[in-house]
């Protein structure tokens, strides 16, 4: 069975690939205001002067308190904002060379797919198979190709055995996996996940993040994920964007972002527990630890606890 070429690219890391990866997303001075409730009201800018570039194959996570514009930014990436929402937009969002203000959402869906936090809002067909095939059918893709794409997408998310089942008889995690398969079947270059596990129980979260791990580690897909669980962000991300008041207040690596524990907490955001541990150790012992994941924390602390290590300092 042929595989979609856009998803089966060599896996690269940011350290080794900066020299040749192109910017697949470019956001230039983006500002946006939803239509006012009253014609006489002044615009309230949800997004304010955001400038950002995302490289092909990069995994970028977006954090921010409620109401800072995270979902609005996601919708701006595939043209829903402003084409479907109206309102006022300034600046530009360029995705794979396409300006999202000037190209139809249907065309942009073949380049960037968005999965929202409530899978029920994206599911409406009588079977899982029909759900995953729907977007391709809307584009007039030949039936043989649709069948191949559906089979492939369901296998990626581990839902092949449920293809005949009604989506509404699935668990929350399974529904979200089907929603992701529906997007993957379109072979987009970019996958946008807007808090994909926010409404799921722990099992559902594990199911969805296993798919994210697969797409990240094995397929090198460009992923932009809105998430509040800092441990997950530290695990997957090349960079983290922290939104505040509709602006990109911090854009940096997970290590650099989570080392600013006091600033993050002032914004109402959590850091991984190991990053908080590093912050407290540094204040207490005048050390310079930077922890984002358990394994590196364990290795650093056990190495420092060795007698020869203490005697050499």
Tens digit of each residue's pLDDT (9 = 90 or more) over 11-39: 334 433 443 358 999 999 999 999 988 87
pLDDT of residue 300 exceeding 80, the answer is yes
Q: Would 221 be classed as within a structural domain?
A: yes
Same domain for 43 and 171? yes
pLDDT band at 307 (very low <50, low <70, confident <90, very high): low
As a whole number of angstroms, the distance between CA 305 and CA 207 comes to 37
Q: Where are the alpha helices (DSSP H) in the chain?
A: 14-17, 70-76, 80-83, 105-108, 128-138, 143-156, 172-184, 202-217, 230-236, 254-258, 261-266, 273-285, 294-305, 307-311
pLDDT band of 167, cuts 50, 70, 90: very high
**Pair (213, 91) in one structural domain:** yes
Question: How many independent structural domains does the chain possess?
Answer: 2
Q: The pTM is what? A: 0.87
Do 249 and 219 lie in one domain? The reply is yes
**Quick one: 173 and 313 in the same domain?**
no
First to last CA, the chain: 59
> Cα–Cα distance between 156 and 306 in angstroms, integer?
44
pLDDT at 42 over 90: no
Instruction: State residue 22's pLDDT score.
Output: 86
Residues 88 and 235 in one domain: yes
Domain that holds residue 277: 272-313
Percentage of the chain exceeding pLDDT 70: 90
Match 């270059």 to its residue by tokens: 189
- Looking at per-residue pLDDT, the higher value among 130 and 311 belongs to 130
What is the pLDDT, as a whole number, of residue 21?
Answer: 54
């Amino acid at each position: 069975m042929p595989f979609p070429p856009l998803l089966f690219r060599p896996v690269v890391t940011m350290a080794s690939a900066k020299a040749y990866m192109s910017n697949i997303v470019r956001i230039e001075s983006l500002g946006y205001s939803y239509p006012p409730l009253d014609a006489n009201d002044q615009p309230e800018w949800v997004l304010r002067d955001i400038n950002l570039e995302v490289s092909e194959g990069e995994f970028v996570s977006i954090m921010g308190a409620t109401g800072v514009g995270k979902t609005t930014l996601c919708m701006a990436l595939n043209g829903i904002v402003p084409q479907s929402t109206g309102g006022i937009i300034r600046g530009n969002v360029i995705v794979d060379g396409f300006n999202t203000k000037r190209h139809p959402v249907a065309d942009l869906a073949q380049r960037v797919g968005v999965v929202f936090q409530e899978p029920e809002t994206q599911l409406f067909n009588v079977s899982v198979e029909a759900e995953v095939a729907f977007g391709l059918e809307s584009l007039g893709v030949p039936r043989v190709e649709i069948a191949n794409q559906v089979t492939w997408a369901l296998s990626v998310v581990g839902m092949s055995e449920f293809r005949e089942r009604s989506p509404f008889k699935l668990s929350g995690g399974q529904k979200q996996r089907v929603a992701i398969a529906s997007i993957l079947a379109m072979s987009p270059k970019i996958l946008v996940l807007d808090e994909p596990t926010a409404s799921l129980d722990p099992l559902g979260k594990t199911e969805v993040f296993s798919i994210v791990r697969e797409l990240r580690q094995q397929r090198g897909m460009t992923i932009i994920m809105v998430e509040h669980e800092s441990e997950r962000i530290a695990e997957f991300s090349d960079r983290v964007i922290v939104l505040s008041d509709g602006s990109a207040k911090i854009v940096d690596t997970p290590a650099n972002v989570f080392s600013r524990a006091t600033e993050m907490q002032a914004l109402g955001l959590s850091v991984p527990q190991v990053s908080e541990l590093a912050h407290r150790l540094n204040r207490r012992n005048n050390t310079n630890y930077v922890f984002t994941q358990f394994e590196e924390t364990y290795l650093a602390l056990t190495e420092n606890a060795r007698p020869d290590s203490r005697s050499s300092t």
